[in-house]
C-alpha cells in the first residue's frame, strides 16, 4: 500500500517567465513573475502550516507510521499517518524562489522543499516511520544523467506544450493515444531528443516524483505506471508497447513498477541525518490526482470528485 494518506493538490500556479522556455515548447496560462520575485533567493522555505502532531507517548508501543509527500504546482506538503489513517503530523512548504540566470531553478527548489519537509517532521516521530512515498504533478519531466542523476536540461513542467514534437509522436503512436498531446511526457522527450546532440547516450528520463524519490533511495531509473502513462507505458500489458520500444529515444525510458512497491531502503546518510530507522523503505510514487482520489469519498458510479486544480469524475 502506498504511503500516502492526505493529498490535497495545489491550484495556484507558481509564476515564472517565458524566458525560461526552450526549444519549441510553450507554457499555458502562466502568470508573469512580480519584480520582487525575480532576484529573490530563499535559503530555507517558509513553513506555511503549523504542524499538528500527537504528543510523545500517545502512540501505541510498536506502532509504525507512513509518510506521504505531495509535490504540487506551488508547494509541497506531507502527512504522517498510521494504519487506521489517523494523521499524526502534517505540514507544508512553499517552493523557495531560487534563481539561476534570472530563471526559476525548479530542481533546486524541489530538492530544498523535500529536505525541509523531512526536517519539519517531529523528531520523536521519525523513528516510527516505516515507509515513504511521493506524488508529483503528472507529465513534469526531467532528463538526467544516467550515472549521476543530475539534470541535463531544465525540467519540462506539467503544463508545458511541445507542439514541435507532436507530428513525430502522432506518426508512431495509435490514434487518440494519451501521448498524442503536446503536453504529454513523450512529446517533451521527443522535443528534447530533437534539440540535444551530445548527451543522448548518458541520458535518462524521470518524472518529478521519480527524481525526488531517487534522492531518498539512490536507485536511478525507476518509475511507476501512473506517472509513466503519458510517456506511453501500457499498464494492461505491463510493458512499453512495441511502437515505442522501436524508437531511438526509448533508451531513455525508466523501468516501471506498481505504485507503492518497495524500491529500497532509505539511504544511510539520510537516515543518519534525520533519525529514521534502518528498516525504513522508500516506495514507488504516483501522480498528484491519483494520490488525491483515494482520499476522497467517491465510492459510487458517476459521483463527482473535485480537487483544487483538477476534476475527476467516476
- Give the pLDDT confidence of 125-171 residue by residue, as tens digits: 999 999 999 999 999 999 999 999 999 999 999 999 999 999 999 99
* pTM of the predicted model as reported, rounded to 2 decimal places: 0.81
Q: Which of 48, 84, 50, 49 is nearest to 66 (CA)?
A: 84
Kindly tell me if the per-residue pLDDT of 94 is higher than 90.
yes
Confidence of residue 1 (pLDDT cuts 50, 70, 90): very low
- Which residues face 313 on adjacent strands? 304
Q: What is the pLDDT of residue 217?
A: 98
Calculate what percentage of the chain has a pLDDT beyond 90.
70
Kindly tell me if the per-residue pLDDT of 43 is higher than 90.
no
Angle at 70 between CA 142 and CA 66, to 5 degrees: 120
Kindly tell me if the per-residue pLDDT of 86 is higher than 90.
yes
Confidence of residue 292 (pLDDT cuts 50, 70, 90): low
Separate counts of helices (H) and strands (E) for the chain: 8, 17
Calculate what percentage of the chain has a pLDDT beyond 70.
77
Q: What is the pLDDT of residue 301?
A: 77
Task: Select the more confidently predicted residue: 231 or 52.
Answer: 231
Kindly tell me if the per-residue pLDDT of 29 is higher than 50.
no
Kindly tell me if the per-residue pLDDT of 9 is higher than 50.
no
Placement of cell 529514521 in the chain: 276
Q: What is the pLDDT of residue 45?
A: 36
Kindly tell me if the per-residue pLDDT of 42 is higher than 90.
no
Q: What is the pLDDT of residue 263?
A: 98
Classify residue 202 by its DSSP letter. Answer: T
C-alpha 164, offset from chain centre? 25
CA-CA distance, 173 to 238, in Å (whole number)? 17
Task: Count Cβ atoms below 10 Å from residue 40 Cβ, excluding itself.
Answer: 13
Q: What is the pLDDT of residue 114?
A: 98
C-alpha 137, offset from chain centre? 6
CB of 142 within 8 A of CB of 252? no
CA-CA distance, 227 to 192, in Å (whole number)? 19
Classify residue 239 by its DSSP letter. Answer: B
Q: Residue 74, exposed/middle/buried by CB under 10 A (0-12, 13-18, 19+)? A: middle
Task: Count Cβ atoms below 10 Å from residue 287 Cβ, excluding itself.
Answer: 27
User: How confident is the model over 285-303, as a mean pLDDT?
Assistant: 73
Q: What is the pLDDT of residue 281?
A: 98
Q: What is the pLDDT of residue 24?
A: 73
CA-CA distance, 22 to 149, in Å (whole number)? 21
Q: What is the pLDDT of residue 308?
A: 56
Residues 6+ apart with CB under 8 A from 46: 93, 94, 96
CB of 221 within 8 A of CB of 148? no
Instruction: Please name each of the domains of the chain with its CATH number.
Output: 18-313 (3.30.420.40)
Kindly report the average pLDDT of the chain as a whole number. 83
Amino acid at each position: 500500500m502506498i504511503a500516502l494518506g492526505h493529498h490535497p493538490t495545489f491550484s495556484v500556479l507558481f509564476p515564472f517567465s517565458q524566458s525560461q522556455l526552450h526549444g519549441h515548447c510553450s507554457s499555458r496560462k502562466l502568470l508573469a513573475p512580480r519584480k520582487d520575485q525575480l532576484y529573490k533567493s530563499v535559503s530555507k522555505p517558509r513553513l506555511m502550516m503549523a504542524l499538528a502532531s500527537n504528543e510523545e507517548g500517545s502512540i501505541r508501543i510498536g506502532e509504525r507510521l507512513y509518510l506521504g509527500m505531495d509535490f504540487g504546482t506551488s508547494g509541497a506538503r506531507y502527512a504522517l499517518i498510521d494504519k487506521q489513517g489517523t494523521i499524526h503530523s502534517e505540514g507544508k512548504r512553499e517552493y523557495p524562489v531560487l534563481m539561476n540566470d534570472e530563471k526559476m531553478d525548479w530542481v533546486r527548489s524541489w530538492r530544498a522543499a523535500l529536505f525541509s519537509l523531512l526536517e519539519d517532521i517531529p523528531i520523536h516521530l521519525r523513528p516510527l516511520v516505516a515507509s515513504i512515498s511521493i506524488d508529483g504533478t503528472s507529465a513534469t519531466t526531467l532528463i538526467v544523467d544516467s550515472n549521476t542523476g543530475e539534470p541535463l536540461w531544465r525540467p519540462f513542467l506539467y503544463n508545458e506544450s511541445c507542439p514541435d514534437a507532436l507530428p513525430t509522436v502522432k506518426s508512431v503512436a495509435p490514434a487518440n493515444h494519451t501521448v498524442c498531446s503536446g503536453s504529454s511526457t513523450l512529446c517533451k522527450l521527443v522535443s528534447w531528443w530533437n534539440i540535444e546532440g551530445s548527451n543522448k547516450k548518458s541520458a535518462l528520463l524521470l518524472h518529478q516524483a521519480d527524481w525526488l524519490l531517487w534522492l531518498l533511495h539512490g536507485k536511478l531509473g525507476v518509475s511507476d505506471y501512473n506517472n509513466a502513462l503519458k510517456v506511453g507505458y501500457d499498464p494492461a500489458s505491463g510493458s512499453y508497447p512495441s511502437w515505442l520500444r522501436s524508437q531511438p529515444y526509448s533508451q531513455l525510458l525508466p523501468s516501471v513498477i506498481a505504485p507503492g512497491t518497495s524500491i529500497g531502503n532509505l539511504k544511510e546518510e539520510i537516515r543518519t541525518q534525520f533519525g529514521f530507522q534502518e528498516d525504513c523503505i522508500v516506495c514507488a510514487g504516483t501522480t498528484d490526482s491519483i494520490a488525491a482520489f483515494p482520499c476522497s469519498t467517491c465510492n459510487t458510479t458517476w459521483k463527482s470528485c473535485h480537487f483544487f486544480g483538477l476534476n475527476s469524475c467516476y
